[in-house]
Chain A
Amino acid sequence: DSGVTQTPKHLITATGQRVTLRCSPRSGDLSVYWYQQSLDQGLQFLIQYYNGEERAKGNILERFSAQQFPDLHSELNLSSLELGDSALYFCASSVGGRDYEQYFGPGTRLTVT
């Protein structure tokens, strides 16, 4: 158990819908990262938050957005869902800074039908 929690574990929804994925980082970790794992794209970085502020953006679509709340949990919002958004979405957390590992949550498996 990495200490990072993600809910829900599985999500099945239809095209055009909107979903919210939730992540709670390990106690004491200030940084939260979101990654997407799909069969064709592999594991890709989406976005990072540090202590409530957006720190870096990766290959995140405009239909996707995220935020980190004062209690440090984070939410990833996916809207106007397409079949290609079906993937495993991971949240990872770290203390922050270059010398710290990123610990991954169990992931949310999103299926868009």
Chain B
Amino acid sequence: AQKITQTQPGMFVQEKEAVTLDCTYDTSDPSYGLFWYKQPSSGEMIFLIYQGSYDQQNATEGRYSLNFQKARKSANLVISASQLGDSAMYFCAMREDQGAQKLVFGQGTRLTINP
């Protein structure tokens, strides 16, 4: 069965520093997708970045990049030059490409950016 593990319940980072949020996953499906979502205190879920299991290069979207290490089954989110507005919950999620296209989420990491 799919499983996503986020081992950092909370992280505190100084503004303008880079931050890495950890995510490991487990699946027996050779084809899958990995996602990161941001949930600010207002509650909405904001899509940040996607990585397919067969993608050769790590995904990047502006200040977000996904450090995909397939052999280690890890998909860490890197945020460069953090901003106060980055303070939020961050969720890693996986979708197996066989069967239901549901997302399975980790427990989340609460990121706090300090000025």
Of the stretches B11-19, B74-82, B100-108, the one at the interface is B100-108
Of the stretches B20-28, B43-51, B62-70, the one at the interface is B43-51
Within 88-113 of A, Cβ neighbours of B (below 8 Å) are at 88, 90, 92, 94, 96-99, 101-107, 109
**Residue from B35, B43, B105 in contact with A106 in the complex, judged by beta carbons closer than 8 Å:** B43
The residue in chain A whose Cβ has the minimal distance to the Cβ of B93 is A43
Instruction: Tell me the complex Cα distance, A57–B103, Å.
Output: 12
Give how many A residues have a beta carbon under 8 Å from the other chain's beta carbons: 29
The residue in chain B whose Cβ has the minimal distance to the Cβ of A42 is B107
Contact count A vs B, C-beta below 8 Å: 68
Do A2 and B43 have beta carbons less than 8 Å apart? no
**Does A58 touch B at the CB level, under 8 Å?**
yes
**Residue from B44, B45, B52, B102 in contact with A48 in the complex, judged by beta carbons closer than 8 Å:** B102
Give how many B residues have a beta carbon under 8 Å from the other chain's beta carbons: 25
Interface string of B88-115 (1 = CB under 8 A from A): 0001010101011111111110000000
Do A56 and B101 have beta carbons less than 8 Å apart? yes
How many whole Å from A32's CB to the nearest CB in chain B? 11
How many whole Å from A96's CB to the nearest CB in chain B? 8
Given A31-B101, A58-B100, verify A99-B52 contact (CB < 8 Å). yes
Given A2-B47, A104-B47, verify A98-B105 contact (CB < 8 Å). no
CB-defined A-B contacts under 8 Å, sample of 16: A2-B46, A31-B101, A43-B91, A45-B103, A48-B100, A48-B101, A56-B99, A57-B100, A98-B101, A101-B50, A102-B35, A102-B95, A103-B47, A104-B46, A104-B47, A107-B45
By a beta-carbon cutoff of 8 Å, the part of chain B in contact with chain A is 31, 33, 35, 37, 43-47, 50, 52, 91, 93, 95, 97, 99-108
Closest 8 CB pairs of A and B: A56-B100, A104-B45, A45-B102, A43-B105, A98-B97, A106-B44, A101-B47, A101-B50
